[in-house]
Structure 1
Amino acid sequence: MRNLNEDTITQAVIASLGGCGDSRLRTVMTSLVQHLHSFARETKLTEAEWQAAIAFLTAVGHITDDKRQEFILLSDVLGLSTLVTAQNHAKPAGCTEATVFGPFYVEGSPEYAQFDDIANGARGEPCFVSGYVRALDGQPLANALLEVWQADEDGHYDVQLVPEDDGTHAHRARGKLRTDANGRFAFRSILAEPYPIPHDGPVGAMLDALGRHPWRPAHLHFMIEAPGYETLITHVFRDGDRYLDSDAVFGVRSTLVAQWVQQPSGTAPDGSQMDVPFYTLDYDFVLNPKGPGR
């Protein structure tokens, strides 16, 4: 391994991986080394550019914590999240498409009953959401678990707001609920609005340098689980949003675009009386059965 140069370094690094006992890790690292070295050669990477890249990744690490995942944002805006999702979640025709997870999922959200208000004080116009979870053959999936989360009308998720006195964040516009015996779900929340991804950090600076905007079209996040079926991670997007064709994280699928319908004041879907106009969204989900060994 002595006297390596730009023509021999790549094979030397690959040869050093020969003792790796994990064949998949060896395959991934071999390809990574080859592509990284090819990138450096193709672009004639300078030392100053290499140092700037290291500084950028260091800044991404420094701003990342349990409330903000800048590495996921970086993966999202480079299209890597969508690519990995697409190649790992091919589904039969008729199944609901998956899309990116995003950086604002939180474990431990509260569980609600049908028609409960998961907004829990989040700012926004009232919205009633309902639909069914079914199998490909139309069979209703009872007791399926849905996790839902969204931003408020100001574009903020609950974890981005000022914490409570004890340092925790109240769960707002976020929660779990289960389908009934007919596979139906229904809850109250707030109207989905477009919002920018966090752009006050290194990823935002990169977008600005590239002449790109940080905006996402209005959407609701869903994660749906049912025994015997693949977990579905997806969004439902609001039709007519101006950012549908320029989503900063490339997550939009035409099949996931739906109508939020404005209703006049009066009786809401949960039977309550609304003295202001409100919105309704109806959207059904179709889950893909697990294959052998999954």
Structure 2
Amino acid sequence: MDVTSEEATDVVVEAFSKTPDPRLREVLVSATRHLHAFVQEVDPTMAEWEVAIDFLTRTGHKSDDVRQEFMLLSDVFGVTMLVETLESLRHSNATTAATVLGPFHMTVSPRRELGESIDEIGSAVPCIVEGTVTSVTGEPIPHATVDVWQADSEGFYDVQTEAGLPEGNGRGFFTADENGAFWFRTVVPAFYPIPTDGPVGELLRASARHPYRPAHIHFIADAPGFLPITTHCFVADSPYIDEDAVFAVKSSLITPFERNDDLVAASRFGLDQPFDHARFDIVLAPAEGA
């Protein structure tokens, strides 16, 4: 049976209409309508469509256990940011703002004790990051877990082989104390480019976009009875703080990293030299039924 371009969308929607799962049916029908509308608007040639299919195929081939090119693609289109924002609207707006996971949370962070350093290469100026995990009512959450990962002072993650960093550098899995407090030693991270050696990099170059992210530290905080949150602590005044390549910066997450020359204060963290310091508190929403 011949189908006109005007009829094509309704024919495909009807084909999905018997999908048993209602949510899946809703998603498939909506995806069909939006994708068909996109094709109708752009009116690609078959050669152009083959380029698009090849781009997606190469995106899949570029992904592996430590590199998720599809997530990176979602990030640069701002889709990950949008999903995170919509997700946060379902919960209390009193929680810490959620952000993208990013492409480098592909290995397990080593378990570390509170106060331990995640900087395994001994950078010149140590940085202390501390905070407290609390509920939306302000009560500390004892023994919450805090998963941390970041780039080093040159802008590299341990999984980037060209950096030659030891495995686990810039990563740590901490358990807060009975007052919900956590602290660790690290180094102020640098801004860096997202990976550009794959299809996503080609896309950025073709669209005259830069690949840079402002300096930041990633966190995932979790505790029984609460919803986990994925977020960032952004270094105030970092380059690209106003033009993040993946659109993840939120004003509430911009955090001062300040030099402290007080050696008495340094001794509280087992240091005998000036250090950088940042405080980043995390607020979790209760899980449904908790």
TM norm structure 2? 0.93
CA contact (8 A) 2:154 2:189 kept: no
Q: Tell me, in whole angstroms, the C-alpha distance in 2 between the residues paired with 1:290 and 1:184.
A: 21
Q: For residue 273 of structure 1, what is the aligned residue in structure 2? A: 272
Q: Tell me, in whole angstroms, the C-alpha distance in 1 between the residues paired with 2:36 and 2:106.
A: 37
Q: Tell me, in whole angstroms, the C-alpha distance in 1 between the residues paired with 2:14 and 2:280.
A: 53
Q: Partner letter of residue 38 of structure 2?
A: F
1:99-118 deviation per Cα after TM superposition (whole angstroms, max 9, x unaligned): 11111113532111111111
What does 1:80-229 align with in structure 2 at a 5 Å threshold?
80-90=79-89, 91-121=91-121, 125-161=125-161, 170-229=167-226
Aligned-pair CA distance for 1:121 = 2.3
CA contact (8 A) 2:216 2:233 kept: yes
Shift of the 23–238 alpha-carbon distance from structure 1 to 2, 3 Å rule, reads same
Q: For residue 55 of structure 1, what is the aligned residue in structure 2? A: 54
Aligned-pair CA distance for 1:125 = 4.0
Aligned-pair CA distance for 1:238 = 0.6
Q: Tell me, in whole angstroms, the C-alpha distance in 2 between the residues paired with 1:32 and 1:94.
A: 32
Q: For residue 28 of structure 1, what is the aligned residue in structure 2? A: 27
Q: Tell me, in whole angstroms, the C-alpha distance in 1 between the residues paired with 2:130 and 2:163.
A: 30
What 5-or-longer segments of structure 2 have no aligned partner? none
SS of 2:17 mapped into structure 1: helix
Q: Partner letter of residue 150 of structure 1?
A: Q
Shift of the 162–196 alpha-carbon distance from structure 1 to 2, 3 Å rule, reads closer
Q: For residue 255 of structure 1, what is the aligned residue in structure 2? A: 252
Q: Tell me, in whole angstroms, the C-alpha distance in 2 between the residues paired with 1:250 and 1:120.
A: 30
TM norm structure 1? 0.92
Q: Partner letter of residue 233 of structure 1?
A: T
Q: For residue 11 of structure 2, what is the aligned residue in structure 1? A: 12
1:148-207 deviation per Cα after TM superposition (whole angstroms, max 9, x unaligned): 00011222211112699xxx9711110101111111111101112111100111101111
Q: Partner letter of residue 259 of structure 2?
A: Q
Q: Tell me, in whole angstroms, the C-alpha distance in 2 between the residues paired with 1:56 and 1:122.
A: 41
Q: Partner letter of residue 4 of structure 1?
A: V
Aligned-pair CA distance for 1:239 = 0.6
Q: Tell me, in whole angstroms, the C-alpha distance in 2 between the residues paired with 1:126 and 1:163.
A: 20
Q: For residue 42 of structure 2, what is the aligned residue in structure 1? A: 43
Q: Which moved more, 1:106-115 or 1:224-233?
A: 106-115
Aligned positions, number: 287
Q: Tell me, in whole angstroms, the C-alpha distance in 2 between the residues paired with 1:80 and 1:119.
A: 32
Q: Tell me, in whole angstroms, the C-alpha distance in 1 between the residues paired with 2:93 and 2:22.
A: 34
Q: Which moved more, 1:178-187 or 1:75-84?
A: 178-187
Q: Which moved more, 1:281-290 or 1:212-221?
A: 281-290
What 5-or-longer segments of structure 1 have no aligned partner? none
Shift of the 122–73 alpha-carbon distance from structure 1 to 2, 3 Å rule, reads farther
Q: Tell me, in whole angstroms, the C-alpha distance in 1 between the residues paired with 2:236 and 2:162.
A: 31
Q: Tell me, in whole angstroms, the C-alpha distance in 2 between the residues paired with 1:180 and 1:34.
A: 51
Q: Which moved more, 1:86-95 or 1:126-135?
A: 86-95
Q: Partner letter of residue 257 of structure 1?
A: I
Shift of the 65–124 alpha-carbon distance from structure 1 to 2, 3 Å rule, reads farther
Q: For residue 232 of structure 1, what is the aligned residue in structure 2? A: 229
CA contact (8 A) 1:10 1:34 kept: yes
- Percent identity over paired residues: 41
